[in-house]
Amino acid sequence: MFIKQINWKISTVLAMTTAVIMGVPLAKNFSRLNATSPELKSSLSLSSMQTLKDHSGWIYAIAMTPDGQTLISGGYGGFIKIWNLQTGQLQKTVNAHVDAVESLALSPDGKVIISASWDNEIKLWNFTTGQLIQTLKGHSDDIKAIAISPDGKLLASGSTDHTIRLWNLSTGQLLKILDNKDWVTSIAFSPDRQTLATGSENGNITIWSLTDEGNYTLMQHSAAVHALAFSPNGTILASGSADHSVKLWNFKTGKVLHSLNHHSADVLSVVFSPNGDILASGSYDKTINLWNPTTGKLLNHLSEHHHPIWSLVFNPEGTILASASGDETIKLWSMPHPQPLVQKAPIPITNRELIQHLNQQLYDTIDQRWQANLMLKNLLIYQVVLNEKGKIIAYKPFNSAAVQEMQKTAPLFQPDAQSSLQSFAQFQVVLSPSGLLEVTPWEGWR
């Protein structure tokens, strides 16, 4: 890794270009990093790339369509809003409930929106038309959480009436009522549909078998369990609690794998990225934390919201995280993608001396030809791929601020390698508003 303070002297038009050029190695001392590991993101600061505004009260729930093109939001006032994520425009508002919408879900085919409210009702809506399909009644108090089984056949709902109800999603028929000892505050299906997890106001998590009707309780939280999520492979259960912690469980053994304690208030939402490499948690402390669920390491701390973070959702590719807040906004965050830019290059550069040679060669070029006057408002992060001759094979912006910079300013520097199928090395480049430049080998040797 190399960190250098730069004296910026050229116009802002060259901001993105200079960052790309400086994406070549500027250091003589290196630290070994794995290009596919989310640990890379631990030192990066992300900024939101878009903010959606139209709600006039707290936003309690969001959901995303299976194609990742549309976002559904609900909150105070009982409204459901449908957003086009390509344009950021509001497409439709549905006056759905007489009280706040606290939980939302979408059928796996994206055709049905399910909303649950403080008015004790669950409603099913036609996604295309916004028309009401059916109202499910039976709960006698606020419905705190709903979840749909992965096969789309079951709907589970949890309420402050101390019950969990299982419904046939296609017919609306009530199939079963499970009694709980306290308010049901969170709910989640396992990916294999064999298990339902529910969280309670008293801090307990109950694991219900949907095949043999057995259940058992995990007791590690000291306050209400506001959020639950299974990892995509079904091996880890994440829970977020009013005790300010996120816990990662082997739910089959009841063992706590990690207890994550970086939040300073209630944890209100937890969600895994589609590949399971990142766990996001949102809190009443107004922040979002990104974690490596394998190691329990904090990767990022996002703090642009001004009120509690009630709901989080990833798009299907894992490239966007959406967050809903009590500040009446939804923010879209560009997630760094862990896969290397050059997928087919057969030979990663592993020779340390060669990397150092490339470093010195290109450092000298940059030092002689380039000084930049960057009036940056946000941190810019880039991923750059070089061949053994020091030519740029490919590059891309790696955070939302860098994406926006590229959209505003056409790149003046292009990849100049003749082929992408050659020896390569990857680098991470960070430019901060303070003028600090950080360049780190991404994958240079094994």
Cβ-contact 315, 333 below 8 angstroms? no
Instruction: Quote the pLDDT of residue 8.
Output: 33
342-391 tens-digit pLDDT: 444 457 777 877 777 766 665 555 444 444 445 556 666 667 777 888 77
Instruction: Quote the pLDDT of residue 424.
Output: 75
Rounded to whole angstroms, the Cα distance separating 433 from 34 reads 27
Cα distances from 369 to residues 9, 13, 22, 365, 387, in angstroms, run: 12, 16, 11, 6, 21
68-86 tens-digit pLDDT: 999 999 999 999 999 999 8
CB atoms within 10 A of CB 204: 18
253-268 tens-digit pLDDT: 999 999 999 999 999 9
Instruction: Quote the pLDDT of residue 107.
Output: 94
Instruction: Quote the pLDDT of residue 396.
Output: 73
Question: What percent of the chain shows pLDDT beyond 70?
Answer: 72
Q: Where are the domains of the chain?
A: 2-36+345-443, 48-334
Q: 48-334 maps to which CATH number?
A: 2.130.10.10
Report, as ranges of residue numbers, the positions in the chain whose pLDDT lies below 70: 1-47, 336-346, 358-382, 398-415, 417-422, 428-446
Picking from 295, 294, 302, 297, the residue whose alpha carbon sits closest to that of residue 269 is 302
Instruction: Quote the pLDDT of residue 443.
Output: 47
Beta strands in 213-319, from DSSP E residues, in sequence order: 215-219, 225-230, 237-241, 246-250, 255-260, 267-272, 279-283, 288-291, 298-302, 309-314
Instruction: Quote the pLDDT of residue 42.
Output: 38
